[in-house]
Structure 1
Amino acid sequence: MEAAPGGDAKRIHDLALQIITEKQPVRVWPLLMERLTADLPCDLAVLIDLNWAAGTGHALTGSPDWLHEAPLDALIHAHMRSHPLLRHYARTRDRTPLTMDEVADDRWWKGEAYRAGKDAIGIDRQLALPLGSAPGRIRGVIMSRSGRGFSERDLEYAALARSLLDTVEAHEAAAFARPALADPADYKITPRERAVLTLLCEGLTAHVIGTRLGIKPATATKHTENLYRKLGVHDRVAALRKAHYLGLVPPPS
């Protein structure tokens, strides 16, 4: 049975309150992805940032946690221009949440891009929540579920959620922005890895980092290993020194 629209409004209100009172800014977007998948519900949600003109882009964060090990960037680079939802937003600059069923034809469902996504991460029916972005770029959340499509009630929830996501971006910029810090994307460091790096600076163990971020300790360890590789180091001390030198984290007090 589908939830009543009034229940959706309360869930969005409660989520907004949780976000603005969140004391750890690194948790905001992972928290959003987790709640979106639970409240809609859907199987997965991914925050993407695409340079449409260049044909490049990244999956910034997502839920469930196993998505961080999936080949999302490879899928984006290979198939973004054939993705009907992304093509629609690139062409129109529309910011209305839409489902794949509303914009795709038979060529999508029978095509290579659909098969590649389904084989890699099990995507089937999709719903997009586009966010504000600069010209030539697409930023938003792609949600997916298997089997059944999205209903009118789901679209009503998505419209509420999309407004919240825009507000979160503005709140994050005002409350947590650190203009002096380098952009982790320049070093191919994801937001989740940046979160792990920030907590590594506090001297926390993989177990505690996992608890703070709501992930398994083994996943926190894997993110740490990825950070070492991207920073070109082999241990925590060297990683923190390199991160300070590059401006990825604030200088030690």
Structure 2
Amino acid sequence: MTALHGGDAARIRDLAMQILTEKEPVQVWPLLMERLTGDLPCDLAVLIDLDWAAGTGHALTGAPDWLHEAPLDALIHSHMRAHPLLRHYARARTRTSLAMDEVADDRWWQSEAYHAGKAAIGIDRQLALPLRSPPGRIRGVIVSRSRHGFADRDLEYAELARTLLDTVEAHEAAAFARPGVADPAEYRITPRELAVLGLLCEGLTAHAIGTRLGISPATATKHTENLYRKLCVNDRVTAVRKALHLGLIGSPPDDVPG
């Protein structure tokens, strides 16, 4: 494997600094997904959490933002066991970053699973950055691009980035270990949705939330609707109050506008 290019090393250092200085832990994962798509570069990046034994799992967050509208969970439930990278990590118990071309044979490129993913989100060549996870589970980031495969330089960058992913996991665990703060994954609330929830607490409009997070107002509205559904509420005030009650928000805002 070739040595990491000086520019790539600088990008890794810059990303590490952003992670360590980010004041809102819930915004770290969306930040990391966006940076991976730009630094590798790739077309998309998705954080997944799978229960391999049960054959179930979820996409927790991803970039670009249109992925939040894609049927990622349906793809996972239907085809995760056919995915060569996921099968490899389920068997080998290794956490080395690997490209799809290193583990797939010709059957993958002809399979229903490959064509379903390509039709839904345009996946083609993929690279996995696996995280620490308990036995029977697979957690990590899958990145994909359609123009060409991943070279040695990409794998070198991915391995260094993967060490940052584990740092993010520890960062997130410490944040949610604080008294009064629940784990949003229990309610299937993604990091981006939790960031939106925090801004709803500040009374921001969909336009202001979009500006703050670098997404469109329509996407901010979609995240808000997802929050309402997951919290079983119908309006912002009730959503904020329920989030406080559940411990999803560590401290109440001074005022929750109506």
Q: Distance in 2 between matches of 1:103 and 1:207?
A: 44
1:25-64 pair list within 5 angstroms: 25-64=25-64
Deviation readout 1:108-142 (Å, 9 max, x if unpaired):
11000000000000000000001111111111000
Ranges in structure 1 where 5+ consecutive residues have no aligned partner: none
Equivalent residue number for residue 70 of structure 1 = 70
Stretch of structure 1 that moved more, 23-32 or 75-84? 23-32
Equivalent residue number for residue 192 of structure 1 = 192
2:112 is aligned with 1:105: no
Query: In the alignment, residue 165 of structure 2 is paired with which amino acid?
Result: L
User: Contact conserved, 1:30 with 1:62, CA < 8 A, in 2?
Assistant: yes
Equivalent residue number for residue 203 of structure 2 = 203
Stretch of structure 1 that moved more, 11-20 or 197-206? 197-206
Q: Distance in 2 between matches of 1:61 and 1:108?
A: 25
Equivalent residue number for residue 12 of structure 2 = 12
Deviation (angstroms), 1:184: 2.5
Counterparts in 2 of 1:246 and 1:176: CA distance versus 1, 3 Å = closer
Stretch of structure 1 that moved more, 174-183 or 95-104? 174-183
Deviation (angstroms), 1:229: 2.0
Deviation (angstroms), 1:199: 1.6
Deviation (angstroms), 1:22: 1.5
TM-score normalised by L of structure 2: 0.92
Q: What secondary structure is seen at the aligned counterpart in 2 of 1:23?
A: coil
1:1-253 pair list within 5 angstroms: 5-175=5-175, 177-178=177-178, 180-252=180-252
Q: Distance in 2 between matches of 1:25 and 1:177?
A: 12
Q: What secondary structure is seen at the aligned counterpart in 2 of 1:244?
A: helix
User: Contact conserved, 1:206 with 1:217, CA < 8 A, in 2?
Assistant: yes
Query: In the alignment, residue 87 of structure 1 is paired with which amino acid?
Result: R
User: Contact conserved, 1:5 with 1:156, CA < 8 A, in 2?
Assistant: no
Deviation readout 1:117-175 (Å, 9 max, x if unpaired):
00000000000001111111111000000031110111111111111111222233335
Q: Distance in 1 between matches of 2:24 and 2:209?
A: 12
Q: What secondary structure is seen at the aligned counterpart in 2 of 1:139?
A: strand
Query: In the alignment, residue 94 of structure 1 is paired with which amino acid?
Result: T
Give the fraction of aligned pairs with identical amino acids, expressed as a percent: 81
Q: Distance in 2 between matches of 1:7 and 1:136?
A: 37
Query: In the alignment, residue 107 of structure 1 is paired with which amino acid?
Result: R
Query: In the alignment, residue 248 of structure 1 is paired with which amino acid?
Result: L
Alignment root-mean-square deviation, CA: 1.7
Q: Distance in 1 between matches of 2:40 and 2:190?
A: 25
The size of the alignment, in residue pairs, is 251
Q: What secondary structure is seen at the aligned counterpart in 2 of 1:91?
A: helix
User: Contact conserved, 1:55 with 1:81, CA < 8 A, in 2?
Assistant: yes
Deviation readout 1:172-208 (Å, 9 max, x if unpaired):
3335643533332333322221221122112222122
User: Contact conserved, 1:95 with 1:131, CA < 8 A, in 2?
Assistant: yes
Q: What secondary structure is seen at the aligned counterpart in 1 of 2:86?
A: helix
Deviation (angstroms), 1:244: 2.1
Query: In the alignment, residue 148 of structure 2 is paired with which amino acid?
Result: R
Q: What secondary structure is seen at the aligned counterpart in 2 of 1:220?
A: helix
Runs of 4+ in 1 over 6 A off after TM superposition: none
Query: In the alignment, residue 105 of structure 2 is paired with which amino acid?
Result: D
Q: Distance in 1 between matches of 2:236 and 2:219?
A: 16
Ranges in structure 2 where 5+ consecutive residues have no aligned partner: 254-258
TM-score normalised by L of structure 1: 0.94
